[in-house]
Structure 1
C-alpha cells in the first residue's frame, strides 16, 4: 500500500508529474524536486494517442487536456518534393471511437502541475540533485547545497537522469546519423487538423496545429554525418533549417519561412536500461527507455509508466513493487522503440526508384485497405494500462 508512504520524485516533467499524481491518488506523500527555477516546458508540440489519453483520464485531467488540445482527424503522408499526397489515413472515419490529440507540451505540463498541486504534492524548484547513493533502507540525495535522505526515489529526469547511471553504469549512446529541428510558428488559418508528414530524400518534416489552430508545430529531421549535441534546447539559425529543406514543395517551405526561433538536437539511440530499480529507487520514462521521435510515443510511454509504477507499488509495496513494474513494462516499451526506429527508414527514401515504388505501394494500400493501414499500430493504441492489472 502507498497510504502514508513518503516518496521523492526527481523531475517535474510529464513522467514525473504524472507519477506524482498517480501515487498521490493512492495516498502517498509526494515531494517533487525540479532543478529548473519554475515548472515549465519549452515551446513544442506533442501528440497524445488513445493509450496515453486513457492514463490522463484516470489521473483526472482528461477533460482539461481535451479543452486545450486539437483533436486529430488523421495522418497524411506526402511526397515532400512535389507536395502530392501519398496516403491519407482518416481517423474519424476508420477509428471514430479513438481520440488522438495534438497539443502544446507546455499546456500538458500546466494541467498536470495544477492537478498535482490539487492533490497536495509538494513541488520544490531550483533543486538540482547531483548524486545518488543507494542503500536497502533509504536513498541519499546530494544537491548543490545539501544532502537529503529519502525513503523511496523515482528518477524521472529524462535522458540525463542522475539515477540512470547509478543503476546501469555509463554507456555511450549511438548517433543515428540524424538531427532534428523543432519550432512553433503562427498559423495562417489553413492548417488542417491532421499530422502531416512530408517525406523526402534523407529527410522528412512533420507538422500539425496547436492551440485551436493558432500555431503550427514543426519537427524536421535530416540525415547527415555532422552530428549535433543531444537535448532539445540547443538553438540554431533558422536559415540552416530552411536550407536543409530548400528542395521541398511550396507548402512546407512556406511554413519554414515563418520560423524565427528553432532548436536542434542530435538523435541518438540508447539501449533500454537493463536495470530499472535497485533497493528503494526506480526510473521511468526516458530515464529508463529513451526513444526516437518517430512514433510520437515518448511522452505516452512515460504516462503509461507512471500509472503502472503506482499500481505496482500499491499492490506489491515499495520493496517488491519495482520489480513487478519492470516486468510489466520492459517488453512493451522495447517493442515500441523498435517500431519508432523502423518508421524513420520508411520516410527517407533517397533512391528515386525505391521512393517511387514505396510511395505507390502506400497509395495502393490506402485505396485497397485503408482501415488495415491505420490498424497496423493498434497493438500500441488499444492498450489501456489503467485496466490492465
Structure 2
C-alpha cells in the first residue's frame, strides 16, 4: 500500500465534498489544507436527504453517533397528486430494514464535518480566494458548480437552462410530523417536503417557467410568488406555504458529467475534481450530497492504495459511470414529477397499482443506488 503520509493536499472548497475528503485524507496521514473563499462556514442551504450509501462512509469515519444526534430518520417516501391524494408509498423502514436513511440540515452536517476534519489534523483556511493553483502535491477541486478547477481540465462549458426554477424554504415542523419525504406532483411543477431535527421542516418547490434565474441557492425569493405558484395544491401544502416568511430561489441547469476528472502532475500539481465540480445534478434523486460523500471516501482510498497518477485514473474510472447513471436518473425524475394530461393520469394509476399489488418492487428498483458500498469499492478488482 502506497500511503499518503508525505503528501501535501490542498482542497478548494469547504462544502460537503471538500470537508468529507479532508476527514478521509487526514486520517490516512496526508497533510491537508482546505481553502474556502467565504469568511465563515455560513448557514447556507437547507435540508438534505442522506441514503445508506453515504451513511456507510459516515459510519466508516466514526461519525455516525454525531450524525444521528443532529438528524432525523426517514422511514418512507410518499408521492401525492395535487389534491393531496396518495399515489404511491415507498416504505423504506419495512422493505429495507437493514438500511438507515436520515434527514439533516446542511449547516449542521457542514459543522460536523468541519469539526471532524480539524480533529483529524486538517487545516481549514476561511476567507481565502484562490486565484492560482496552490503549491501542493495534489489540488482537489471541490468548489461546486462554478468550479475554477473544472475548466482547467475540461475547457469552457455552457450549462443548459432546464426552464425550471426552484424555491427552498424552512418552516417550523408540526408536532409528530411523519418521518417521511413527501412529494406533491402537478402538471409542470412539484413540491417536496420533509421534517428535520430541532423542529424544522424543509420545503423545495420546483416550477417550469421560461424566465431565467442564476444558478446557486442563495438568491432571495418572494414567498407570495411561491404561494401563488402552488395555490391549487391541496393536502398540507397550503398550510405549509402560509408559514413561509423567507425563501431562496434558483434556476436549475443541466451540466454534463465532466469528461476529464483528473490530471497527473506535470508542470504543476496533480488535479482532481469531486462533488458538484465533477457531476452537478438536478435535485430529483436526493443524491447530490451523497455522491460528494462517496467521491471523497473513494478518492482517499484510491490514493492510499496506489501511486498518485494510477490512483487518480482509477478514481475516475470507478466514479464516472455511477455518477452518470445517477444524473440521468435525476433528469428522468424531473419529467416524471411534472407530467400532464392523460400521460399523468395513466402513470399515477400505474404507480397506485404497483404500490397495492407489489409494494416492495418500487424500492427494489433503487437497489443499485442504495446497496452501493463506497468503503469497499477501491479494494475491489
2:216 counterpart of 1:231: yes
CA contact (8 A) 1:40 1:110 kept: no
The answer for the alignment partner of 1:151 in structure 2 is 137
1:42 equivalent in structure 2: 44
Q: Provide the rounded CA distance (Å) in 2 between the counterparts of 1:365 and 1:287.
A: 37
Deviation at residue 43 of structure 1 after TM alignment: 4.1
The equivalent residue for 2:99 is: 98
Is 1:22–2:40 an aligned residue pair? no
Residue of structure 1 in register with 2:184 after alignment:
198
Instruction: Name the SS for the 2:311 alignment partner.
Output: helix
Say whether 1:185 aligns with 2:175: no
Match of 2:73 among 71, 76, 80: 71
Distance in 1, matches of 2:285 and 2:33, equals 32
Aligned CA RMSD, in angstroms, stands at 1.1
Q: Is the 8 A contact 1:18 1:59 kept in 2?
A: no
1:1-389 aligned at under 5 Å gives the runs 1-80=3-82, 82-131=83-132, 141=133, 148-212=134-198, 214-279=199-264, 280-351=270-341, 353-388=342-377, 389=379
Which runs of no fewer than 5 residues in structure 2 stay unpaired? 265-269
Instruction: Name which of structure 1's ranges 372-381 and 40-49 shifts more when overlaid on structure 2.
Output: 40-49
Tell me the SS of whatever aligns to 1:312.
helix
CA contact (8 A) 2:45 2:217 kept: no
C-alpha distance in 2 between matches for 1:56 and 1:307 = 9
Give the CA deviation at 1:250.
4.4
Gaps of 5+ in 1: 132-140, 142-147
Q: Distance in 2 between matches of 1:161 and 1:150?
A: 18
TM-score, scaled to structure 2: 0.95
Alignment length (residue pairs): 371
Counterpart CA distance in 2 for 1:191 and 1:345 is: 28
Is the CA contact 1:205–1:221 (under 8 Å) kept in the aligned structure 2?
A: yes
Please give the alpha-carbon distance, in whole angstroms, between the structure 2 residues aligned to 1:108 and 1:221. 24
Name the counterpart of 2:267.
Answer: none
TM-score normalised by structure 1 residue count: 0.93
Structure 2 counterpart SS, 1:63:
helix
Answer yes or no: is the 8 Å Cα contact 2:188–2:340 preserved in 1.
Answer: yes
CA distance in 1: counterparts of 2:331 and 2:119, whole angstroms: 38
